[in-house]
């Protein structure tokens, strides 16, 4: 399977990412760019997107980039910095880039931007490689 096919295989099984409306825009080995429209159900009491949605969106980017070689990885540690409020009607993009790769771990930086290409969050995720194939789980 190609990296894109592996990411699509994962997305086909990922009901939460499907609920969020995530689309794979570009996928290559240990990299992905995904997109998501903001839905009414994602809005909190302050009329902005719930931070957990933004975190989950970045976490999905981490999953699709760190597992797309069919070598399964799970999150060990993730941090996020919110830089701008996300509003109803926004369309978000998350770009996940590998910055460190070892035999057992990987570190990815995920930049989340809105349709105006404004940075709305910065996320860093560390994954642990579990020595299994994605397609065998």
- Distance set, CA 70 to CA 55, 85, 123 (Å): 23, 35, 23
- Which letter, b or e, does each residue of 117-126 get, where b requires 16 or more Cβ atoms within 10 Å of its Cβ? eeebbebbbb
Taking each helix axis from N to C end, the angle separating 51-66 and 3-13, rounded to the nearest 10 degrees, works out to: 140
Task: Give the start-to-end residue ranges of the domains of the chain.
Answer: 3-136
Average pLDDT, the chain: 98
Q: Which residues contact 26 (CB under 8 A, 6 or more apart)?
A: 32, 33
How far apart (Å, rounded) are the C-alpha atoms in residues 53 and 49?
7
Confidence bin at 125 (pLDDT 50/70/90): very high
- Assigned superfamily of 3-136: Hotdog Thioesterase (3.10.129.10)
Q: H-helix or E-strand containing 71?
A: strand 71-82
Residue among 48, 43, 7, 46 at smallest CA distance from 24: 7
pLDDT of residue 89: 96
5-16 pLDDT tens trace = 999 999 999 999
How far apart (Å, rounded) are the C-alpha atoms in residues 40 and 52?
14
Average pLDDT, integer, range 108-136:
98
Whole-prediction pTM value?
0.97
Tokens of 125: 């995720």
Confidence bin at 113 (pLDDT 50/70/90): very high
How far apart (Å, rounded) are the C-alpha atoms in residues 109 and 129?
17
41-79 pLDDT tens trace = 999 999 999 999 999 999 999 999 999 999 999 999 999
């Amino acid at each position: 399977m190609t990296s894109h096919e592996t990411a699509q295989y994962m997305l086909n099984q990922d009901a939460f990412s499907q609920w969020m409306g995530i689309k794979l825009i570009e996928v290559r080995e240990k990299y992905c760019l995904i997109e998501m429209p903001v839905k009414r159900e994602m809005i909190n009491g302050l009329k902005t997107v719930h931070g957990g949605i933004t975190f989950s969106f970045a976490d999905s980017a981490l999953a699709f980039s760190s597992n797309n070689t069919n070598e399964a990885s799970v999150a060990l540690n993730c941090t996020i910095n919110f830089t701008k409020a996300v509003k109803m009607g926004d369309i978000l993009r998350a770009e996940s880039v590998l910055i460190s790769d070892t035999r057992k771990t990987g570190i990815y930086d995920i930049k989340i931007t809105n349709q105006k290409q404004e940075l709305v969050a910065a996320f860093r995720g560390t994954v642990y490689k579990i020595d299994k194939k994605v397609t065998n789980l």
